[in-house]
Structure 1
Amino acid sequence: MKNAIEIKDVRKVYRVGDEKVVALNHVSLEIKQGEVCCFLGTSGSGKSTLLNLMAGLEKPTKGTIKINGHFIQKMTEKQLAKFRQKYVGFIFQSYNLLPALTAVENVSLPLTFRGIGKSKREEISKKMLEAVGLKKYITHKPTQMSGGQQQRVGIARAFVSYPPIVFADEPTGNLDSKTTHEVMGLMLEMAKEHNETLIIVTHDKSIAQYADKIVYILDGDIQKIEEKNKEENYEKEGN
């Protein structure tokens, strides 16, 4: 199985006044295509910074990030925008739906950026909403839906263009336990169906158990990596 993501010796340092704050410290990691990988850590551990670097939202201070054969730290903003349109889907904790748009209009946004005609993208988006159990909510706007329903719209939007990689940043942070279980099952089902790589960032250990690979992050370092049905393949010395 080929690697979807290769992170080598990545370091991220922020300047705060005269001080340097190390957010990530020489992180190296490989994630295979079709793998469900969870970055697990407390607030401030560096997990969200790592996701932002992988998504090209920030650039590393040092090191390389290779996604689907592309070294994203070398790309311009214009190249990154095109790269994300083609290869990446996003699921957010706060849903990030446009309030003035209906469910089907929100879901069809990635297809709009790809230049797909209105009738075709509506057809595709309606099928995707039906797949996430929202057939009756196609014309509803975000304010007319519950948090769980809004997150299902967010999932449909992330997967609608079948991107090779989907990033989910605390995707169940605003949901109750029952809805969390439903949403996680839905994300895994959709990712596995099309062999998409799913990267989940969370502080919740119960969410991590859904993953094929759990990457424990603390103070900008990878402390341990666990793989389902395998022995631990890495543990930082002293832990």
Structure 2
Amino acid sequence: MSQDIVKSPFIQIKHIRKVYRMGNEKVVALNDVSLDIKRGEFVCFLGKSGSGKSTFLNMVAGLEKPTKGEIIIGGVHLEKLDEEEVTLFRQKNIGFIFQAYQLIPSLNAIENVALPLVFRGMSAKQSQKVAKKYLDDVGLKGYYNRKPSQMSGGQQQRVGIARALVGNSKIIFADEPTGNLDSNTTLDVMNIIVDIAKKNNQTIILVTHDNMIADYADTIVELKDGDIINISRPKQNQ
């Protein structure tokens, strides 16, 4: 089965539902969510805590399987892959940007950014060369040898962005990527994410509760209690 992403619509979400069991109770985290996402589109899932947005991200990233429904990326039915297949799929196609950065403390900036390339089999020398380019792209030239403890929160998040983008992953998942940053740093970080992803035609799926972050998106999907309550495409009207 080919796992290359080549078809449009790029991502098809068909009637996914996620139910968690807590003792004898059932908690519906997502309820019959459907959506098509194009290649290169920036989609923001907006909602308060408990709305289902992080559950959605986990489903589409292959971190959890839906209780019902289909998740199709480039013709690949993600929900049908076994654990090894979905891990390989993520390595090849997906990058993650986390709120808490998730950098490895013992590694410097270059080593943190190069790590996904090493996992893909690239040599250490070549992976570090590519990592330097992406660190330059996010404004961290000269910070190559600094470890996370030697950088500010904004600088650490820039390293996280470089790591997510370094392998030219086709999809970038961002989970509250600016949640730990001040407002000025937030704007800088969002501009970097959008500029690089657009240049490389990378699809962004971002979840947030922040309307200011949502304004960067091509499509805003509002969630409440596991349901889509509104879909808007504000940039089409600009």
Give unmatched runs, 5+ long, in structure 2: 1-6
Where does residue 32 of structure 1 map in the other structure?
38
* 1:208 and 2:210 correspond: no
Q: CA deviation at 1:163?
A: 0.7
Alignment deviations for residues 39-63 of structure 1 (CA, whole Å, 9 cap, x no partner): 0000000000000000111000000
Question: Superposed, which structure 2 residues align to 1:1-239 within 5 Å?
Answer: 2-230=8-236
Alignment deviations for residues 148-202 of structure 1 (CA, whole Å, 9 cap, x no partner): 0000000000000001100000000000000000000000001100110011100
Q: CA deviation at 1:226?
A: 0.3
The 2-side partners of 1:27 and 1:122 are apart by 40
Amino acid across the alignment from 1:70: V
The 1-side partners of 2:236 and 2:133 are apart by 37
Task: Report the TM-score, using the length of structure 1 for normalisation.
Answer: 0.95
The 2-side partners of 1:177 and 1:68 are apart by 36
The 2-side partners of 1:59 and 1:128 are apart by 32
The 2-side partners of 1:210 and 1:229 are apart by 9
Tell me the percent identity: 59
Q: Any runs of at least 4 consecutive aligned residues in structure 1 with deviations exceeding 6 A, and if so which?
A: none
Task: Report the count of equivalent residues.
Answer: 231
Where does residue 237 of structure 1 map in the other structure?
none
Which secondary structure does the structure 1 equivalent of 2:212 belong to? helix
Amino acid across the alignment from 1:215: V
Give unmatched runs, 5+ long, in structure 1: 232-239
Task: Report the TM-score, using the length of structure 2 for normalisation.
Answer: 0.95
Q: CA deviation at 1:5?
A: 1.0
Amino acid across the alignment from 2:89: F
Q: Aligned-residue CA RMSD in angstroms?
A: 1.0
Which secondary structure does the structure 2 equivalent of 1:135 belong to? coil
Which secondary structure does the structure 1 equivalent of 2:178 belong to? coil
